[in-house]
Structure 1
Amino acid sequence: MRITQSMMSTSMMHNLQNNYRRMDKYQEQLMTNRQLNRPSDNPIGVADALNYRQEVSFTTQFTGNVDDAYSWMEFTDSVLTETSSIVQRLSELAVQGGTDTVPEDARENIAQEVGQLYNQLVSLGNSQFKGKYIFNGERVNEKPYPADPANTDYQLDDGEVEYQIGAGIYVPVNLIGDKVFGVSGDPNGLYAVVDSLKNALESDDTAGIQATIGQLQNSLQNITTVQAEAGGKQNRLDFTMSRLEDLQINYTDLQSKVEDTDMAKAISELKTSESIYQSSLDTIARIIRPTLLDFLK
């Protein structure tokens, strides 16, 4: 095959363009700090990058859910702690008021304090976290307890409020109020026991006062058990948060390796491509010499 000047020129210009594109590629990587600026740069790498981005997005969402769930449980724990303290105080008042030698007016004063503590227990039963009632199952927008639950019928929802903390993994964060304050109409429920203590104090009923002491101790033990259950869930959320933070770091690192530019490598490749491009220009200048027609012009 005969090699013509035109064929040589076309081939040289084609190679020169390739060398220029290679140099432009590394210049772009250095300017954007990304080695993937378009799908054609690395189709497999783009697919991996999209997958890592999705995993990072999921992990970020799960981390937010765990944080919110932990806050809910932390708030619930504080409510249970206050409830436990009140029941402990009520037990002390019951022991104090159940003594035969205590005067009637002293029992009336104790009854007034018991009434205030009863109202505070009702307030705790209607506690809200971020505008949601924590003791009414899935009916988080409905107030669970009436003003006087010991003497008013009520019905709580027993559904679970769940947070997704992983792919297909859910954790319930709410506690049903019946486990803490007792079922409506149950004489051994906390509200009913406190109301009985108040009535016994007001009627100067020593036997009735003493009967509530054991019931209050049972309620206190029950609250401790429920609080331990909540603490177990908090521990699980702690471990889950730690695992998600590790996953976030790993996926972010993998994404960076696929997408971000290796600056040292890119600078080295740019210098090499610049040298190649300059050499190409020099070579073309030497090969394409002026012809007789150029001089005749």
Structure 2
Amino acid sequence: MRVTQSIITRTLLQSLNSTKESLREKQTSIATGKRIEKPSSDPINFSKADKFRRKIEQNEGFLQNVESSLGWVENTMSIIDSIYEKILRVKEIAVQGADNTLDEEGRRILSEEVDSIINDIVSLGNSSYLGKYVFAGTSTKGEKPFTYDGYSVVYNGNGEKLFRRVGENYSVVINVSGEQLRATNVFTVLTDLKNALDNNNPEEVADLIARIDQVGDNLLNLNSSVGSIQKQLELIKNRLETANMNLASYLSSAEDVDLAEAITQYNVEETAFKAALSITSNAIQLNLFSFLE
């Protein structure tokens, strides 16, 4: 086959366009900091980068669940702490009420304070977090978990567990139900104390002091169990954050450009492009002169 001047020119133009496209891709890489513009640029690393990116997004979703769960748990612990502080005052009241030198009127005043504390604890038991009742089990909306009629406290929620998904195949229970709070006997002992004070019965009040201490211990144990959930969530949070840091590093290795190397390559190709442009220009002129002759 005879190689004509036009074939040479066409070949040079094709090479020139190819070099121009390569320069454009390198310009884009330098501007964006990414060396993979499309799947065809690097199919293997594009696939790796896509997997890393989707895993990071999934972990971010789990981290959001962990953060909201930590808020729920910390709020629960704060409420139980507040109830425990109320119980410390209740014990002081019981000690005063058991004193034989205290008259009936004095016990009536103490009974009114106990009644007020019961209302306070019921109010704490009806606390909500982000619009959901904390101690209602899965009945987090609607009727308040606890009601008090002046004689007894009624629980209106359930004992179901609230789960939060914090891993691909892992969920954590984050709640304390009202049944668990009621199991500390906080409401039973307080209403018994109120009745004993109303009945002006110092012996019965004295008998309740040990039960009040037990309620305090029960509340501390309950809060300790919630603290264990908090520690578990914090560990999961740290693991997810560490995993995402590693994944971000892998993602960077798969798709990020080495800026210094990219600029060097661009400069080399740009020089070659200018030289090829000059050669092609001369070839086109020569081909034109040959045609005119």
Say yes or no: TM over 0.5: yes
TM-score by length of 1: 0.91
TM-score by length of 2: 0.92
Q: Distance in 1 between matches of 2:213 and 2:51?
A: 56
Identity %: 27
Q: Distance in 1 between matches of 2:169 and 2:288?
A: 76
1:229-268 paired onto structure 2 within 5 Å: 229-268=225-264
- Per-residue deviation, residues 3-53 of structure 1 (Å, max 9, x unmatched): 222322222222222212111211122233322222221122221121111
1:16-27 paired onto structure 2 within 5 Å: 16-27=16-27
Tell me which residue corresponds to 1:97: 97
Tell me which residue corresponds to 2:168: 167
Tell me which residue corresponds to 2:267: 271
Q: Distance in 2 between matches of 1:149 and 1:134?
A: 23
- Residue ranges of structure 1 left out of the alignment (5+ in a row): 183-187
Tell me which residue corresponds to 1:190: 186
Secondary structure class of the residue paired with 1:193:
helix
Tell me which residue corresponds to 1:212: 208
Tell me which residue corresponds to 2:277: 281
Q: Which one-letter code corresponds to 2:174 in the other structure?
A: V
CA 293–6 in structure 1, closer or farther in 2 if over 3 Å, else same: closer
- Per-residue deviation, residues 48-76 of structure 1 (Å, max 9, x unmatched): 12111111111111111111100100000
CA 224–93 in structure 1, closer or farther in 2 if over 3 Å, else same: same
RMSD between superposed Cα atoms in Å: 2.0
Count of matched residue pairs: 291
Q: Distance in 2 between matches of 1:104 and 1:292?
A: 127
Tell me which residue corresponds to 1:81: 81
Secondary structure class of the residue paired with 2:165:
strand
Q: Distance in 2 between matches of 1:292 and 1:180?
A: 99
Q: Which one-letter code corresponds to 2:245 in the other structure?
A: I
How much does 1:261 deviate? Answer: 2.8
Q: Distance in 2 between matches of 1:222 and 1:159?
A: 20
Q: Which one-letter code corresponds to 1:227 in the other structure?
A: N
- Per-residue deviation, residues 263-296 of structure 1 (Å, max 9, x unmatched): 2121111101111112212333455536764554
CA 83–9 in structure 1, closer or farther in 2 if over 3 Å, else same: same
Check the 8 A contact 1:149/1:191 in 2, yes or no.
no
How much does 1:150 deviate? Answer: 5.4
CA 181–171 in structure 1, closer or farther in 2 if over 3 Å, else same: same
- Residue ranges of structure 2 left out of the alignment (5+ in a row): none
Check the 8 A contact 2:5/2:287 in 1, yes or no.
no
Tell me which residue corresponds to 1:185: none
